[in-house]
Chains A and B, each alone.
Chain A
């Protein structure tokens, strides 16, 4: 299947592309080609680094096209900052709006004697019948590297505990997000990407 991966210059895409192609996907990359988003069958928005990098999605005109694609029912997966962008915003870059698909905002981990950023392998606690995490057992480990996080809400598909529970995965309809890096999370991560590639609207 074909996947459109959006490059908004927030870090390196090689690992994400490699994992998608390893799973048999035909991954194509766009920086600002609106027609590719208009024709997309599936969209992945990766991203590491600073929330302010998502400003590029606005300046290239991709934001309204992504919104329209989501409204058409195109399966969408946001990874790390790509997941945070699905929310209203992040206090990492307060003047930069997110997509607002989820109404809450992302915040920095509170100071509590633990190191920030949260870096390394941490476990998933599934909250409900997640479609993205089908086949993943509670307690399985995935790889994180981030300082900001989304709150736990009714759309949260999995939580992870670091200082406090946060949303490590979110989903509603055809929109999915993961705070961790499935492309770097060994077999568990590949299973999650495979689930995304296989997911169809019922």
Chain B
């Protein structure tokens, strides 16, 4: 049976993890390669590394980080942040990523999705969407507004129509972040996730708002998510992806266990 994925996310700046799933007893909590390896060992089904360095010189640091992180990682590895062209993507793949995630650049030029998909396959293109419900719209959920530049500027697109366009252009997965829920720890936006998941045939990864293990149960059930991003696992009262998955299994959710 196909299982629901728990994806560990690391935010990286200048080659160091600045936010993300942390462990109390890791001596060097900032090393992406060490943390990614540990998450994989402790049951994460996939690793996402998001680079929040926006500078040109940061790109080489990122590629070094990706190369080092990928070296001993034998689960799917997705890298996002600052990928603006197919040649940016090619460098990240060459460094060892299996997938790239694109967000603002794909909204600015949607043909970027086609271009990466043509060269590397649809499975390698994750389109990240940051969305906020729009209370002024006739359907505040399906017509949630899409934002760019880390949520600072509306992109003029609606979440469901943009997700469908991304799929039609050859995206392999959607990474959907609810800006209303992000950081609130009150649960994923299950209505938003379900609306997008029902509108496309590709997997939807839910992100933003998890505060308890039950929130994951909810987003895999009511939210129809195929995967969920765990950005800071200690907030959920568990010590590892494996422990989170054991709770999910007890709640009747199919997960990769033992792992």
Contact = CB atoms under 8 A, between A and B. Distances in A.
Given A49-B120, A115-B203, A122-B3, A12 B45 contact: no
Interface string A162-201: 1000000000000000000001111101100000000000
A123 interface: yes
A22 B72 contact: yes
Nearest to B72: A22
Interface residues of B, number: 32
Nearest to B89: A12
Contact of B172 (A117, A183, A186): A117
B96 interface: yes
Interface string B1-40: 1111100000000000000000000000000000000001
Contacts of A48: 120-121, 123-124
A59 interface: no
B202 interface: yes
A8 interface: no
A146 B93 CA distance: 19
Interface stretch (A13-21, A35-43, A71-79, A126-134): A13-21
B135 interface: no
A12 B40 contact: no
Contact of A121 (B45, B95, B123, B124): B45
A145 to B, nearest CB: 4
25 contacts: A11-B121, A11-B124, A12-B93, A12-B124, A14-B70, A14-B94, A19-B74, A48-B121, A49-B121, A49-B123, A115-B202, A115-B226, A117-B172, A117-B202, A119-B172, A119-B202, A120-B45, A120-B203, A121-B3, A122-B1, A141-B259, A161-B1, A184-B75, A185-B74, A187-B74
